[in-house]
Amino acid sequence: MNYILKLKLKLKHLHNRLLHSEPNKNRISILFLLTLLIISWMLTQAVKIHAANPGKIQEGIAREIIRFHVIANSDSDEDQELKIQVKDALVDYLKPSLKNTKDIEDAQSIISEMLPSIQSMATHIIEENGYKYNVTASLSSSYFPMKVYGNYTFPPGQYEALQVRIGNSEGRNWWCLMFPPLCFVDETYNIVDEDGEEKLEYLLTEEELDALKNEKVPMKIRLKIFDYIKKLFN
């Protein structure tokens, strides 16, 4: 007998006792225990939602997004600052071209056509700062570990990414979403682009979006818990 079935039987048993008990302390204790069991059951359902087919959920998310990945030459302060300058320039350069893009196929086509100019711009910024690092720009699939970005937690797995590698590419990297455009508007407070958020919500299924949201329990599950408790006390 699994955990969920045991919980359901306990809930049914306690509910019957509650219906036939007198309005005294015993009834209050049973009601309290019944509420705790319902919350436990609902939380178990929430865990099952997040645990169900995590690979398929990640693959579904990956099919709809393109990440932007800038990898520094090294972890020195100078190379990290150079990485940020390259990132800032490329975000400003690419955002207008991708702003009105409706699907990932269009975004892939636009980015692919712009790869030579992306590489040229990054090289120009690097040379302006007195460095002679080689730069490569590619649109390719790579493995990414779990990353938290604003209010979203992206599961680990393979993602397509616009990757800009500077020099030896041995330093800490920077990333955001190039499509839908979700790069931070204000990195100090992790404020993301509202248009990008709306597009992300449009592209993903409800299950995929729930998996991305950086919350322990999805809003729908929490609301159901409160509904059950409200019904009990009414």
List the chain pLDDT tens, one digit each, 234 residues.
454 555 556 656 655 665 565 555 555 555 656 666 666 655 555 555 555 566 788 999 999 999 999 999 999 999 999 999 999 999 999 989 998 888 999 999 999 999 999 999 999 999 999 999 999 999 999 999 988 887 788 999 999 999 999 999 999 988 888 999 888 665 655 566 777 788 888 889 888 888 887 544 444 444 455 555 555 545
* H/E segment holding residue 148: strand 147-149
Q: Are residues 72 and 188 in the same domain?
A: yes
Q: How far apart are CA 158 and CA 169, in angstroms?
A: 19
Q: Are residues 70 and 174 in the same domain?
A: yes
Q: How far apart are CA 218 and CA 213, in angstroms?
A: 8
What's residue 221's pLDDT? 47
Answer whether 0.75 is exceeded by the pTM: no
Q: Are residues 95 and 46 in the same domain?
A: no
Q: Which domain holds residue 75?
A: 57-203
Q: Are residues 72 and 130 in the same domain?
A: yes
Please report whether residue 170 resides in a domain: yes
Contact predicate 89/121, CB 8 Å: yes
Please report whether residue 229 resides in a domain: yes
Q: Are residues 37 and 89 in the same domain?
A: no
What's residue 21's pLDDT? 56
Please report whether residue 21 resides in a domain: yes
What's residue 9's pLDDT? 63
Q: Are residues 197 and 118 in the same domain?
A: yes
Please report whether residue 138 resides in a domain: yes
Q: Are residues 64 and 38 in the same domain?
A: no
Q: Are residues 84 and 165 in the same domain?
A: yes
How many independent structural domains does the chain possess?
2
Rg of the chain, C-alpha, whole Å: 25
Longest dimension (CA), the chain: 84
Q: Are residues 86 and 30 in the same domain?
A: no
What's residue 162's pLDDT? 96
Q: How far is CA 113 from CA 94, 122, 123, 137, in A?
A: 12, 16, 17, 12
Q: Are residues 108 and 195 in the same domain?
A: yes
Please report whether residue 121 resides in a domain: yes
Contact predicate 65/183, CB 8 Å: no
Q: Are residues 24 and 94 in the same domain?
A: no
Q: Are residues 39 and 145 in the same domain?
A: no
Please report whether residue 208 resides in a domain: no
